[in-house]
Amino acid sequence: MNEHSKPHTPDFSDDNKRRGFMVKIAAIVVGGITSIIPAVFAGGFFLTPLLKKRDDAEEKSDGFVRVGSTASLVPGGAPLAFKIRGIKIDAWTTYAEAAIGSVYVLMDEAGALTAFNATCTHLGCTVNYKSEENSFACPCHDSAFALDGERTNDIPPRNMDTLEVEIRNKEEVWVKYQSFRAGTSGKIPV
């Protein structure tokens, strides 16, 4: 047989190469879609705490928390420590009645109230009242404060943080509790 008389068989190798290429592209597209959908839902789950709005009740609150009564305070007497309990939000979890901090409340001779956040302005430890010295001291790094909240050494960067305080219903002591950034000379809310 001569060259021209051989039966001609079609060459399918180019078609197979094209078909294999298209299968690979389709696999990549389907794999990408099946990977993106769970990633979008996972991203939504992790970003939800950043995007969600606060409760209406929390927005309507004036920020004051009842800490005690005026009957427990002595005019010109020692400051009293009060634990602050309230709603604590930790990204994904809300705790209804959690301890969120503490305050000191003093009543002067005239009956006026002063409230201090009990968190040290140096590095955030809880300040103690020292009755024998009639002053405040931080047990962590020896920050010291006078009874009026003024710092008495150079360790803390600022005085104790004062808070709004008021008397409601003639005897209830209410404090507008707020935390401030430690380690800064400015009173920056957090």
Q: Per-residue pLDDT averaged across 30-59, rounded?
A: 71
Are 107 and 145 in contact by the 8 Å Cβ rule? The answer is no
Q: How far is CA 49 from CA 43, 53, 63, 91, 97, in A?
A: 11, 9, 21, 5, 20
* Weakest-pLDDT range from 5-19, 67-81, 120-134, 167-181: 5-19
* CA nearest neighbour of 65 among 93, 102, 33: 102
Indicate the domain borders of the chain. 10-51, 56-176
What does pTM read for this prediction?
Answer: 0.67
Domain 56-176: CATH superfamily is Rieske [2Fe-2S] iron-sulphur domain (2.102.10.10)
Share of the chain above pLDDT 70, in %: 84
Residue 177: CB atoms within 10 Å: 21
130-142 burial, b at 16+ Cβ within 10 Å, e below that, comes to: eeeeebbbbeeee
The mean pLDDT value for 72-83 works out to: 92
Cα radius of gyration (the chain): 34
The pLDDT value given to residue 180: 93
> Quick check: 18 pLDDT over 70?
yes
Sign of CA dihedral 96, 101, 104, 105: negative
- Confidence band of 33 (pLDDT split at 50, 70, 90): confident
- 138 contacts 144 by C-beta, under 8 angstroms: yes
The pLDDT of 37-43, averaged and rounded, is 81
Going by pLDDT thresholds of 50, 70 and 90, the confidence category of residue 42 is confident
In angstroms, the CA 60 to CA 159 distance is 31
Which residue from 74, 98, 76 is spatially nearest to 87, judged by alpha carbons?
98
Helix (H) or strand (E) holding 97: strand 93-107
Tell me: pLDDT of 1 over 60: no
Q: In the structure, what pLDDT confidence band is assigned to residue 37 with cuts at 50, 70 and 90?
A: confident
% of the chain beyond a pLDDT of 90: 54
Examine the pLDDT at 86 and tell me if it is beyond 80: no
pLDDT in tens, 101-134: 999 999 999 999 999 999 999 999 999 999 999 9
Strand partners, 125: none
Report the pLDDT value the prediction gives residue 39, as an integer from 0 to 100: 82
Q: How many CA atoms lie within 13 A of 136 on its CB side?
A: 30
Among candidate residues 66, 71, 98, 67, the one with its CA nearest the CA of residue 82: 67
pLDDT digits (tens, 9 = 90+) for 145-174: 999 999 999 999 999 999 999 999 999 999
